[in-house]
Amino acid sequence: MSSDTTIVTDQKTDTRERIDVGIVIERRKIDNPWQDYVFAPVAVIVGAPPMAVTDEWRELRRGDDWVHYHAGTLALELFVGETEGYRKNLSEDQPAIYIVLTPGEEADEPEVMPFLATACPYEAESYTEDTDQIVEGVAMPPEVLAWTLDFVERHHVDVEFKKRKKKAYDPRKGGFRPRTAKETRQ
């Protein structure tokens, strides 16, 4: 990690760690009668300066039909209970940091705003159910890769899969019960 990157550990329980990452969003011009631009996260900046997601975006670079902005700085947190997801991510050819963008709802807010940065693909997947949010993976920087790998090595515990046994129905305990033929006709 670089000298300006700070890892914060939960001192009481040692169950989570965090670093701040800047979110880089690309605004690309498109040929569409209903929409002028598309937005997508394209990178993270480890050790980026603090910046609220509601602050004005800082332009980083520009092309013919696209612009990259530093759109905000978020905490990337690692939790002991999610090490299985981190292991899955680290086993991929290109490990990713998943960025969730949410639409700005107020008039003075940008069209999209960074909402979450996570290294857990399972957590990122849970945000894909909302069609208004954009969820994309960006390349995990080497410093974050090393930090995540170290966290997983220190905290991961394999949990053996245990198949639940089917329980017989007990009418004295209530709950679901088979319907009688008389009840199904009504």
Q: In the predicted model, what is the mean pLDDT of the chain?
A: 86
* Beta-bridge mates of residue 112: 103
Q: Is the distance from CB of 116 to CB of 84 less than 8 angstroms?
A: no
For 109, the 3-state DSSP assignment is coil
Q: Give the tens place of pLDDT for each residue, 123-182.
A: 999 999 888 899 999 999 999 999 999 999 998 888 777 888 887 777 677 666 556 666
- Count Cβ atoms below 10 Å from residue 98 Cβ, excluding itself: 24
- What are the pLDDT digits (tens) for 43-64? 999 989 888 887 889 999 999 9
pLDDT in tens, 93-132: 999 999 999 988 887 778 899 999 999 999 999 999 888 8
Domain boundaries, the chain: 8-155
Separation CA 26–CA 22 (nearest Å): 13
**pTM for this one?**
0.79
| pLDDT recorded at residue 132 | 87
% of residues, the chain, pLDDT over 90: 60
Those residues with Cβ within 8 angstroms of residue 125's Cβ, 6 or more apart along the chain or in another chain: 135
- Cα–Cα dist 77/9, whole Å: 10
Decide: residue 132, CB within 10 A, 0-12 exposed, 13-18 middle, 19+ buried. exposed
Q: How far is CA 101 from CA 39, 91, 133, 141, 184, in A?
A: 9, 25, 6, 20, 48
> Is residue 90's pLDDT more than 70?
yes
